[in-house]
Structure formats: structure tokens, C-alpha cells
Amino acid sequence: MPKHRALNALTQSPMYWLFAASYTIVHIIFEYKFWVTGGGAIFAKYEPSGVLAEQLSIGERVYYAKATWCFLMIWLQFLGTRFKTALAWSFMVYAVELLLLFPVRPYALLNVLLALGMVIEVLLQRRQAPNPAA
């Protein structure tokens, strides 16, 4: 009996799965808090003060980091990079940006660890892939 495609991906790319699960959970919680409970503190994980100017500044920095991530991922794919590779490297840039743009917090450190794991996984898979030129 053939393995289910998702189970096969889980065993071959656990960091990719961890990313997908983490990203999904974080955004479901975000959307629930924002839309269902009416919680306006959407940038709470960055620990802003109650000052409106600081909240706007955080929003700008979050937008910049996410836009850079998306822009880089799209261009890496456009230039022929495989999706998982483009995701890993662009997410690494995003994670480093979080460290540079915000105070060091568990959220940012976890992003860096996940991104590092994804990059290592991509590099190991590339190294283990059969060489078509051989």
C-alpha cells in the first residue's frame, strides 16, 4: 500500500511540516483573536506599549519584514529555486529581520531556530539527492 503523500512529506521534510503547522496555528489564533474576540492587540507578540505611535511603528516594521520575506520568496522561485528552498532561505531572512527590528523575544528566537532547521534540512536533502550529471 503506497504511503499517503502528506505522510511521505512528513518523514522526508519534518522541518517543512513544523513550519506549516506552526504558521497555521499562529495565524488561526491571530485571526480568531482579531475577528472573533475583537482583540485589537494584534502585535502583542512584539510587546508594544499602549502608545499609538509605537504600535504604528511596530506595524510598519512587521509589514516591512513580511513584505521582504514574500518578495524574496517570489523572486527566488521566479529565478528557478525550488519552493522549499525558496521558503527556507526567505524565512531565514525574515527571522533575522525580526531580530534586527525588534527586541530579542522568544517569538523571534523560535523563528530563527525554525528557519535554521529548514535551511539545514534543504542543504542536507540537496546533498543527498542523486547527481544527474554523474
The answer as to whether 133 is a domain residue is no
The answer as to whether 134 is a domain residue is no
Q: Where are the alpha helices (DSSP H) in the chain?
A: 5-12, 14-31, 52-78, 83-101, 106-128
Measured CA to CA, the distance from residue 122 to residue 130 in angstroms comes to: 14
The answer as to whether 43 is a domain residue is yes
The answer as to whether 123 is a domain residue is yes
How many other CB atoms are there within 10 angstroms of residue 37's CB atom?
A: 8
Q: Determine the structural domain holding residue 25 and report its residue range.
A: 5-128
Q: How many domains does the chain have?
A: 1
- Tell me: the pLDDT tens digits for 90-121? 999 999 999 999 889 898 999 999 999 999 99
The answer as to whether 32 is a domain residue is yes
- Tell me: the pLDDT tens digits for 70-93? 999 999 999 999 999 999 999 999
Q: Is-contact 123 11, C-beta < 8 A?
A: no
Task: Please tell me the pTM assigned to this model.
Answer: 0.79
Q: Is-contact 51 76, C-beta < 8 A?
A: no
- Tell me: the pLDDT tens digits for 4-37? 776 676 778 899 999 999 999 988 988 888 788 8
